[in-house]
Amino acid sequence: MSLSVRYTRGFLLDLKQRLSFIKDAHELLEMKRDQLVREIKKAISRFQELRRKVELEMEDLYRDLAIIHAIYGSKELISSSRTLSDHMEIEILPKSIMGVDVPEVKIKYLPDIKNKYPLHITRVAEKASAIISDLLKLAEIESIIEQIAEDLRNTNVRVNALEKVVIPTYENLIKRIGEIIDQSALEEFMRIKLVKKALTRRRGQI
Amino acid sequence: MSLIYLICRAHGYASRLLKRELILELASLQSLQQFVEHLAATEYGEKLKTVKTLIELENTIAEVFLDRLRSLLKIAEESGGADFLKTYLEKYDVQNIVWLLRMKLGKASKEEISSLLIPFREISKIDIEEILEAEDLAQALEVIRRSKAYKLPETVGSLLELEAELWKSYYMRVFKKISSIPIRDRVEVKRLLGLEVELINLRTCILSAVKRLDRGTAEKMFIENPAGTSRRKLRHFLESYDEKFYLEHFPAYRSYLEKIISGKEPFAEIERLRILKKFAEKQRIPKFISFFYVIKYILDLEAEYRDLRAILISIYHGIPNDVRLQLLINS
């Protein structure tokens, strides 16, 4: 941090104002950091819960799929997987959490799979469709966690920089300038006193 | 040559089918390499030597199955019975068309679709190449309509209805062709086909009863069954009863019906094939020299093909041994 230091009362006053502003900013950043920590904790617990659910659902789905594959063969499975001509449509909207831009995934259109798949595939297709919605939610939360974590890291760096570097530097500078100003005021006082004494002495001789 | 020659050859060919013990042994294996090694001394051995991937293994097993059907068909052409057999085996043609249409719906390329089809053109009623060339599903359906091989309505509500229409045409033709086989053997063949259709129709009924299929679609999917419950009666069942009715009314198929009700449809498919196989086995003893034996042999062939396919895919996915046994028709 480089500051062109002037040892004046005006500059000291300016520094004190700046320090007060920095302290306010530090306090606000601390509040933001605490809130981000709360948000990330909330997101992580939601993520863990949903991930556990999705993992179980995926296991179940793969088990069913393996059984269908074994009973009907690869060709039946491949051809069945191509029967849905509709595609799922999603929209990714930006959302702000404590000033952090995070994505919000909205499913705009989910194809209706009833009567679209061969009857023996329908159940697995329904399960897969439900899991896709959960996977999207999982991706959304994962992205929220990533974005908040990145911002949290930056906020933490700022808070630490203010706390450990900027504020102490300003305080030291204020203290040093204050001391120098006090010292020069004392010197000035002494000088005036001496001049006064010399003048009084000179007047007495006359 | 007479039809008896075909029946005797079918008996001879049946001795080449894999023994149940070997099938069960295969089902307990842990790797595809072991699977290939265990089949080395059989008809599959030579062909399996060079294959590496799952899909290649599947295709090789299918190849052996089709070669066996071709041999049977060749003898049938010389000794009679080919007329019915060709029509009966058209189910693989229907299967091809079903896969083809699904892929067309999904805008798959010609190459992708070709790689999927069962290479059994000898029995095909339709020029598959022409359907492959079609630009979209609508054009493909037009080709099928033009061929007059399958009756398709002008408007088709869903893929399920479309597939059902193809199967309806197939069964109608097979039932008609029963008249081409000797009178003394017709009853068993008709009953077997009736049973096949009955099980398909009951599945449609139950799926509608448990609300997994629209009633309107279900009604359109019923296949006319001259040797089983009529469509009119099935429609009445559909309107009046819930799934429990079917369990009480058709106790012989209880295990099959229960699996559909509980949502275990893939297992119901295995149960369906087991019921058909059991039916064919029951008829075998009193009618040893019968054309029905040829049909039974075809069922056995298909059961072996499907069992081997199920085993190798189970090994590939690491499905537990106890579950593998549930996937076998010959368990």
**Each residue's pLDDT tens digit, B174-185:** 999 999 988 888
Same domain, B186 and B270: yes
d(C-alpha B11, C-alpha B5), whole Å: 10
Classify residue B254: in a domain, yes or no.
yes
pTM score, whole prediction: 0.84
Tell me if B110 sits within 8 A of B133, measured CB to CB.
yes
Domain boundary among B179, B199, B226: B179
Pairing of strands A89-97, A100-109: antiparallel
Number of CB atoms found within 10 A of residue A74's CB: 17
Number of domains in chain B: 3
| B86 is a domain residue | yes
Helix (H, G, I), strand (E, B) or coil at B149: coil
Residue type, B186: R
Give the tokens for residue A29.
Answer: 């950043």
Asked if the structure places residue B286 within a domain, the reply is no
Are B228 and B166 contained in the same domain?
no
**Domain annotation covers residue B217:** yes
Burial B312-330 (b: 16+ CB within 10 A, else e): bbbbbbebeeeebebbbbb
**Phi, psi angle pair for A45, to nearest 5°:** -65, -35
Residue B27 domain-assigned (yes or no): yes
Last residue of a domain, one of B140, B161, B179: B179
pLDDT of residue B269: 95
Could you tell me the CATH number of the domain that includes residue B74?
1.10.132.50
Q: What is the largest CA-CA distance in chain B?
A: 57
Strand ranges, E, within A18-163: 89-97, 100-109
Q: What is the pLDDT of residues A21-71, one digit of tens each?
A: 999 999 999 999 999 999 999 999 999 999 999 999 999 999 999 999 999
| Residue B154, domain extent | 82-179
Q: Are residues B72 and B113 in the same domain?
A: no
| B221/B147 same-domain check | no
**Are B275 and B185 in a shared domain?**
yes
Environment class of A165 (CB within 10 Å of its CB; exposed 0-12, middle 13-18, buried 19+):
exposed
Q: Let me know whether B50 and B97 are in one domain.
A: no
What percent of chain A clears pLDDT 90, i.e. is strictly above it? 76
**Structure-token pair, residue B194:** 């009736």
pLDDT digits (tens, 9 = 90+) for B36-70: 999 999 999 999 988 889 999 999 999 999 999 99
Mutate to test the interface with B, among A72, A75, A120 (most CBs of B within 10 A): A75
Report the run of H or E that residue B81 belongs to, with start and end: none
| Closest-CA residue to B303 (of B109, B65, B51) | B65
Crossing angle of helices B254-261 and B183-209, in 10° steps, is: 30
The reply to whether residue A67 touches residue B214, judged by beta carbons under 8 angstroms, is no
Which residue, B161, B179, B197, sits at the end of a domain? B179
Mark out chain B residues that contact chain A at CB-CB < 8 A. 54-55, 58, 98-99, 102-103, 105-108, 116, 118, 157-160, 163, 203, 207, 212-214, 217, 263, 265-267, 269-270, 306, 309-311, 313-314, 317, 319, 323-324, 327
* Distances in whole angstroms, Cα of residue A11 to Cα of each of A3, A139, A181: 11, 52, 11
What phi and psi values does residue B211 have, to the nearest 5 degrees?
65, 30
Distance (Å) from the alpha carbon of B149 to chain A's nearest alpha carbon: 22
Supply the ipTM of this predicted assembly.
0.93
pLDDT, one tens digit for every residue, chain B (331 residues)? 688 888 889 999 999 999 999 999 999 999 999 999 999 999 999 999 888 899 999 999 999 999 999 999 999 988 878 899 999 999 999 999 999 999 998 889 999 999 999 988 888 888 888 999 998 888 999 999 988 888 888 887 788 899 999 999 999 999 999 999 888 889 999 999 999 999 999 999 999 998 888 889 899 999 999 999 999 999 999 888 888 899 999 999 999 999 999 989 999 999 999 999 999 988 866 567 888 999 999 999 999 999 999 999 999 999 999 999 999 998 7
Inside any domain, residue B307 = yes
Given the structure tokens 């041999």, which residue do they identify?
A: B71
CA distance B298 to B247: 30
Domain annotation covers residue B285? no
pLDDT of residue B284: 61
Query: Could you tell me if B147 and B233 lie in one domain?
Result: no
With an 8 Å Cβ cutoff, are B55 and A82 in contact? Answer: no
Task: Evaluate whether residue B30 is within a structural domain.
Answer: yes
Measured CA to CA, the distance from residue B318 to residue A66 in angstroms comes to: 9
Give the per-residue pLDDT at B147: 87
Per-residue pLDDT reduced to its tens digit, A103-136: 999 999 988 887 788 888 888 988 998 899 899 9
Q: Assess whether B71 and B119 both reside in one domain.
A: no
